[in-house]
């Protein structure tokens, strides 16, 4: 196309009525037009420049839209070269291929990093072997660390967001492995085996364990700092949908496979508990029900809500039920279950729905109290969607439980191992099998007081910290940017109710393993303990509000500390009661049971009454919904 400037003829008219095609006004054709039309509107130019109109479907702006500018210099039309659309298409293809190749490179670098960690772990372990070349092991460890660092740099070059996620997992791995080395060091020092260099192994595991633990903590702190940046938060919000949906699919498939496993009950397959006792059909049914709920409930919620959010679908406003209705339904369910369990031949088919409802209805009542502030009346909290409540439950049951199980299992193992070292249990160990056998027989080696210490550290220290942190993440992920305290407390109550429901499913199985007639008592006890999770999760959610929105960090730390302290006090009391120390070993089992039920009753009633009081105290006018969102309280990453 000719790019030379050219003036249109002065008498040219596209209107057929003598009006000038340049300014749109009627004037003498012999007089030149001095109007200088401005460039095309920005929207039109941007539309063409971004490649959204390859066929010329967007019309050019009319010349009459521009007012003449008296005294402006003579305007000359300049024909422009049209956009080459195949070139733009080629750029998009190259960008796509670059992204694909970047993720492939990141995956290869991840595999190399895992291999380097394995080589480094083996090399450090070889330092404890007698007659092994120390220089070769140290050289292999250094080379593996260098190659791992190069792999991380390549990974960061290829996919930065993916790299930060991998580094977060690496931080957890390093802390876990470093603590494992610190625990294994005194075990190696105590073992008296000819194949081991006890002192050298002790020194190597101690030094490497300290360095690796410090590196993991530093890397974890760096990941937290990266995640707090505004740009990083936007990327995390975008990728959280995909990661959460993938995790939900995995949980859903696991739950469906477990549900299919219930068909084995028809064939009369026998299952046994940890002590070798055969479980009845009712016990097997409740066991499979708890396992299905553990995976299927959070999986379905994550898949449905995150995929619908990614597709841009909205969510309706949360309508809180009436608490008294949930309480009445809970009483009916307990009655039906008790009648069935007292039969000579209980009907197993009735127990799955009754067991699920008995675990879920108390949480429903507590969420209703947190939303309405009353048992039957009250204005519900507005600005919260079903998607937020559903995801709070899903994250609490699907993520917080996994965090708690991991931390408590690792912590209990390390505590028991150190107590066994204190008793000299590994003095006769000759290999790793002897070490694990000693740990498995810890209940026979450790004294009652030592077992109490291990249980107290796990139940009263690690469990409150890990569980409250995990449940508070459910509130943080679903909390809107302009949330009120009442909304955050409601989301915390939903997270706690989901966690309590899951615990009720699992602990209810322990209750019926001794006597089927005790099922209703155990479920009533667990219904009361669910109020603990609701209160603590609500306080932890308020801690996030004061940290990120209220900007009162001391208040946030105090609220989180209060949640952990309440939970620790609850767990610590029952740990003391179960361990029978401090003179409690002389009490009869019936007396201990009465004490436990009395304490649960008093504490549960106190916390249940506190839920509506806190909810009414936190009420405040909700902010107006921002434009463009259906609810105004939707968190950005929820769509």
Per-residue model confidence (pLDDT) at position 307: 83
> How far apart are alpha carbons 166 and 553 in whole angstroms?
29
Label residue 631 by pLDDT band (50, 70, 90): very low
Label residue 560 by pLDDT band (50, 70, 90): very high
Label residue 616 by pLDDT band (50, 70, 90): confident
Average pLDDT over residues 300-324: 84
Per-residue model confidence (pLDDT) at position 55: 41
**What percentage of residues in the chain have a pLDDT greater than 70?**
76
Per-residue pLDDT at 272 exceeds 60: no
Per-residue pLDDT at 188 exceeds 60: yes
Residues in the chain: 639
Label residue 22 by pLDDT band (50, 70, 90): low
C-beta separation of 168 from 223 below 8 A: yes
> How far apart are alpha carbons 498 and 397 in whole angstroms?
6
Per-residue model confidence (pLDDT) at position 543: 92
Label residue 273 by pLDDT band (50, 70, 90): low
- How would you write 434-470 as a 3-class SS string? HHHHHHHCHHHHCCHHHHHHHHHHHHHHHHHHHHHHH
Per-residue pLDDT at 419 exceeds 70: yes
Label residue 34 by pLDDT band (50, 70, 90): low
Per-residue pLDDT at 453 exceeds 90: no
Q: What is the DSSP letter of 179?
A: H
Distance of CA 66 to the CA centre of its chain: 56
Task: Classify burial at 40, counting beta carbons within 10 Å of its beta carbon; exposed 0-12, middle 13-18, buried 19 or more.
Answer: middle
Tokens representing 417 are 């191992």
Per-residue model confidence (pLDDT) at position 539: 94
Per-residue pLDDT at 268 exceeds 70: no
As beta bridge partners, residue 6 has: 77
Per-residue pLDDT at 611 exceeds 80: yes
C-beta separation of 187 from 417 below 8 A: yes
Per-residue pLDDT at 630 exceeds 60: no
pLDDT top residue among 172 and 259: 172
C-beta separation of 537 from 471 below 8 A: yes
b/e per residue 497-519 (b: at least 16 CB within 10 A): bbbbbbbbbbbbbebbbeebeeb
Pick from 531, 560, 530, 521: nearest CA to 543: 560
Average pLDDT over residues 390-418: 89
**pLDDT tens track for 191-206:** 877 777 778 888 888 9
Label residue 490 by pLDDT band (50, 70, 90): very high
**What percentage of residues in the chain have a pLDDT greater than 90?**
15
Would you list the DSSP string of 560-587?
A: HHHHHHHHHHHHHHHHHHHHT-TTGGGS
pTM above 0.85, yes or no: no
CA dihedral in degrees (496, 501, 503, 505; nearest 10)? -170
Label residue 270 by pLDDT band (50, 70, 90): low
C-beta separation of 206 from 182 below 8 A: yes
Per-residue model confidence (pLDDT) at position 62: 46
Per-residue model confidence (pLDDT) at position 449: 81
Per-residue model confidence (pLDDT) at position 194: 75
As a whole number, the mean pLDDT across the chain is 77
> How far apart are alpha carbons 201 and 195 in whole angstroms?
11
Per-residue pLDDT at 587 exceeds 60: yes
Which DSSP helix (H) or strand (E) runs through 338?
Answer: helix 323-341
C-beta separation of 382 from 515 below 8 A: no
Per-residue pLDDT at 1 exceeds 50: no
Helices (H) and strands (E) in the chain, counts: 19, 0
With H, G, I as helix, E, B as strand and everything else as coil, classify residue 429: coil
Per-residue model confidence (pLDDT) at position 164: 82
Task: Classify burial at 220, counting beta carbons within 10 Å of its beta carbon; exposed 0-12, middle 13-18, buried 19 or more.
Answer: middle
Residues 6+ apart with CB under 8 A from 35: 20, 22, 23, 25, 66, 67, 68, 69, 72, 75
- How would you write 204-248 as a 3-class SS string? HHHHHHHHHHHHHHHHHHHHHHHHCCHHHHHHHHHHHHHHHHHHH
> How far apart are alpha carbons 392 and 478 in whole angstroms?
6
Average pLDDT over residues 20-25: 60
Per-residue model confidence (pLDDT) at position 540: 92
Question: For 124-138, 272-286, 314-328, 489-503, which range has the lowest pLDDT when averaged over its residues?
Answer: 272-286
Per-residue pLDDT at 492 exceeds 90: yes
Label residue 565 by pLDDT band (50, 70, 90): very high
- Which sequence spans correspond to the domains of the chain? 1-83, 91-227, 269-638
Per-residue model confidence (pLDDT) at position 437: 86
Which DSSP helix (H) or strand (E) runs through 105?
Answer: helix 85-126
Label residue 366 by pLDDT band (50, 70, 90): very high
> How far apart are alpha carbons 357 and 520 in whole angstroms?
12
Measured distance between the N- and C-terminal CA atoms of the chain, rounded to whole angstroms: 46
Per-residue pLDDT at 471 exceeds 70: yes
Question: For 24-38, 163-177, 435-449, which range has the lowest pLDDT when averaged over its residues?
Answer: 24-38
> To 10 degrees, what angle do helices 485-512 and 281-310 make?
160
User: Measured over all CA atoms, what is the biggest interatomic distance in the chain, rounded to whole angstroms?
Assistant: 119
Question: For 83-87, 94-98, 508-512, which range has the lowest pLDDT when averaged over its residues?
Answer: 83-87
Label residue 128 by pLDDT band (50, 70, 90): confident
Per-residue model confidence (pLDDT) at position 12: 44
pLDDT top residue among 44 and 104: 104
Per-residue model confidence (pLDDT) at position 535: 94
> How far apart are alpha carbons 323 and 367 in whole angstroms?
8
Per-residue model confidence (pLDDT) at position 79: 44
CA atoms within 13 A on the CB side of 625: 14
> How far apart are alpha carbons 555 and 536 in whole angstroms?
15
């Amino acid at each position: 196309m000719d790019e030379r400037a050219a003036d249109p003829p002065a008498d040219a008219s596209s209107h057929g009525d003598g009006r000038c095609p340049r300014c749109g006004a009627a004037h003498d054709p012999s007089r030149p037009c001095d109007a200088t039309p401005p460039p095309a509107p920005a929207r039109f130019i941007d539309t063409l420049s971004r490649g959204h109109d390859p066929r010329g479907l967007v019309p050019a702006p009319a010349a009459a839209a521009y007012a003449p500018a008296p005294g402006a210099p003579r305007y000359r039309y300049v024909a422009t070269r049209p956009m080459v659309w195949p070139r733009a298409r080629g750029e998009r293809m190259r960008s796509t291929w670059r992204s694909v190749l970047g993720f492939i490179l990141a995956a290869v670098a991840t595999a190399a990093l895992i291999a380097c960690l394995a080589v480094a772990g083996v090399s450090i372990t070889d330092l404890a072997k007698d007659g092994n070349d120390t220089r070769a092991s140290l050289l292999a460890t250094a080379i593996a660390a260098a190659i791992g660092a190069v792999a991380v740099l390549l990974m960061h070059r290829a996919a930065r967001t993916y790299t930060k996620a991998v580094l977060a997992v690496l931080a957890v791995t390093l802390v876990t492995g470093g603590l494992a080395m610190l625990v294994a060091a005194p075990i190696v020092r105590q073992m008296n085996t000819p194949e081991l260099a006890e002192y050298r192994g002790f020194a190597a595991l101690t030094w490497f364990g300290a360095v690796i633990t410090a590196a993991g903590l530093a890397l974890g702190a760096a990941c937290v700092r990266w995640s707090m940046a505004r740009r990083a938060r936007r990327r995390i919000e975008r990728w959280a949908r995909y990661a959460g949906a993938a995790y939900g699919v995995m949980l859903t498939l696991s739950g469906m496979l477990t549900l299919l496993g219930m068909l084995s009950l028809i064939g009369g397959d026998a299952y046994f508990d940890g002590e070798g006792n055969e479980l009845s059909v009712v016990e097997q049914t409740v066991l499979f029900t708890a396992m299905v709920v553990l995976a299927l409930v959070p999986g379905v919620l994550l898949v449905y809500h995150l995929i619908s959010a990614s597709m841009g679908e909205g969510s309706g406003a949360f309508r809180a039920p009436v608490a008294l209705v949930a309480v009445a339904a809970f009483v009916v369910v307990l009655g039906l279950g008790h009648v069935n369990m007292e039969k000579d031949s209980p009907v197993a088919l009735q127990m799955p729905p009754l067991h699920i409802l008995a675990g879920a209805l108390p949480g429903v009542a507590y969420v209703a109290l947190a939303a309405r502030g009353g048992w039957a009346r009250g204005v519900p909290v507005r600005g919260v969607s079903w998607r937020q409540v559903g995801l709070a439950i899903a994250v609490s049951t699907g993520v917080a439980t996994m965090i708690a199980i991991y931390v408590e299992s690792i912590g209990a193992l390390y505590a028991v191992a150190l107590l066994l070292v204190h008793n000299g249990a590994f003095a006769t160990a000759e290999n790793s099998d002897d070490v694990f056998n000693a740990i498995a027989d810890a209940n026979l080696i450790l004294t009652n007081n030592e077992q109490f210490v291990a249980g107290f550290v796990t139940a009263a220290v690690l469990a409150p910290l890990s569980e409250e942190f995990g449940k508070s993440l459910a509130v943080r992920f679903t909390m809107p940017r302009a949330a009120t305290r009442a909304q955050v407390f409601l989301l915390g109550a939903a997270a706690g109710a989901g966690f309590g429901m899951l615990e009720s499913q699992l602990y209810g199985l322990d209750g019926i393993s001794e006597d089927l007639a005790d099922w209703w008592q155990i479920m009533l006890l667990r219904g009361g303990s669910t109020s603990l999770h609701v209160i603590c999760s609500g306080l932890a959610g308020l801690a996030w509000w004061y940290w990120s929105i209220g900007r009162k960090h001391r208040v946030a730390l105090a609220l989180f500390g209060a949640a952990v302290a309440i939970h620790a006090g609850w767990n610590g009391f029952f740990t003391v009661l179960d361990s029978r120390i401090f003179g409690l070993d002389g009490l009869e089992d019936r007396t201990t049971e009465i004490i436990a039920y009395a304490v649960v009753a008093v504490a549960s009633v106190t916390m249940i009454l506190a839920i509506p009081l806190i909810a009414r105290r936190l009420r405040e006018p909700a902010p107006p919904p921002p434009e463009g969102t259906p609810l105004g309280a939707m968190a950005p990453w929820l769509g």
